[in-house]
Amino acid sequence: MKIAIMGYGTIGSGVAAVLEKNRDSIARKTGEPVELKYVLDLREFPGDPIEKKLVHDVDVIMNDPEVGIVVETMGGVEPACTFVKKALSAGKSVTTSNKALVAKKGTELLALAKENHVSFLFEASVGGGIPIIRPLNQCLTADEIMEITGILNGTTNYILTKMDKEGESLETVLKDAQEKGYAEKDPTADIEGYDACRKIAILSSLAYGSQVDFEDIYTEGITKITSEDFKYARELGMSIKLLATSRRAGGRFCALVAPMLVGEDHPLYAVNGVFNGILVEGNMADKLMFYGRGAGSLPTASAVVSDVIEMAKNPGETLLTSWSSEKLPLADRGSWTGRYFVRMEGSREEKRVLLGEIFGDVSYVEIPGLKEFGFVTPVMTEAEYDQKAAQAGGVIHMLRIAR
């Protein structure tokens, strides 16, 4: 089996390294050696082991009938999409680590793969080295998936963990993360939640069988989280995590990405630093936890190569059940149900009667030295919360509480 890698960055070079390091065991599992024939990149890599395999023209790969599998690790929607379409149309199976591509074009590329009797796989696009796509697609097929909640972004989890443990501001921790290479120079996609949003859209589309458009998912990043929020969280015995979640609720589907308070007894509480965790709830299997490295060269490459092996073992087959192109309508943010932690201006004494009348039975939390107070509401929809919060006035910040 001869393969090509498109994009020799962090993940592409990791794929070449995994193929080389585990050459023998991969050949045993595949039933034949897997040989890297081409690497496509615009740059030169003098002295690199792949130097002689480097090509700058995608058509060299597309026109070579020996290449049966193409690995796409370029990132971004274009030109990755055009190249992947070319490969699938040329009868080559494709695996990608590119969540932007899968979230935007997944349905179309799955259909094109089917038409051409090849596969389009994307194990590495969500959760890096964590196996999550194959479990959803193959192992949990007897279940109706009720909920998926994940810490799907390592950068923001690193930042929030450090803010929690060291009491630092977001600005300071972000700078440190950038210096260590855990955050990009332009961190927008991570800290605004866009990356996690694409990943939960992919998982939800697979789990519920219809297209979930990431544009429909209400998304809040972590930019408004302060060290004061963490003081309250500690007082409540909780932490703050950026959660990406979708669930069935009364025959409808709800999805959102937002920083949430997570209690000590929640399975995602212990997922710290750059690690990712994904909690899946099936109506038969009940709760399942997937944990591991959500990014990084070798862990992500491991997931990519697992797709390569799977495709090499099943030539001429379309492996992944496509999700339907029918759009899954999502209920709006207002129908989200849960408890809310609210930081409010003023003092508990002066607001106690008013808040009791508006919110009912709330529990209070105060931090010495802060000229404000916090409280936790009973369970209600977000539409109800919005209306009550407007009526009460003086809200400084609201955080949802993970259930």
- Contacts to ligand HSE by CB under 6 A: 128, 153-155, 190, 195, 294-295
Q: Which residues contact 287 (CB under 8 A, 6 or more apart)?
A: 267, 279, 280, 281
C-beta of 198: minimal distance to ligand HSE in Å?
9
Query: Residue 7: helix, strand or coil by DSSP?
Result: coil
Using CA atoms, how far residue 286 sits from 87, 145, 203, 266, 289, in Å, is 39, 9, 17, 15, 10
CB of residue 125 to ligand HSE, shortest distance in Å: 8
- As measured in angstroms, the least distance from the Cβ of 123 to ligand HSE is 13
Report the distance separating Cα 87 and Cα 96, nearest Å.
12
Shortest CB 316 distance to ligand HSE, Å: 31
C-alpha–C-alpha distance, residues 288 and 328, integer Å: 24
What is the Cα–Cα distance from 164 to 169, expressed in whole angstroms?
A: 10
Marked catalytic residue, from 199, 241, 351, 388: 199
What is the spatial distance between Cα 261 and Cα 228, in angstroms, rounded to a whole number?
Answer: 13
- We find the least distance from the C-beta atom of residue 168 to ligand HSE, in angstroms, to be 19
The CA distance from 397 to 384, in Å, is 16
- What does residue 361 show for φ and ψ, rounded to 5 degrees? -80, 95
Using an 8 Å Cβ cutoff, are 152 and 200 in contact? yes
Active-site residue, 199 included: yes
Residues 6+ apart with CB under 8 A from 205: 106, 107, 211, 212, 323, 328
Residue with smaller CB distance to ligand HSE, 81 or 380: 81
Q: Which of 158, 90, 75 is nearest to 122 (CA)?
A: 75
- Do residues 352 and 366 lie in contact, with contact meaning Cβ atoms separated by under 8 Å? no
Q: Extract the runs of DSSP E, i.e. beta strands, from 64-128.
A: 67-72, 93-96, 120-121
Question: So which residues are the catalytic ones?
Answer: 199
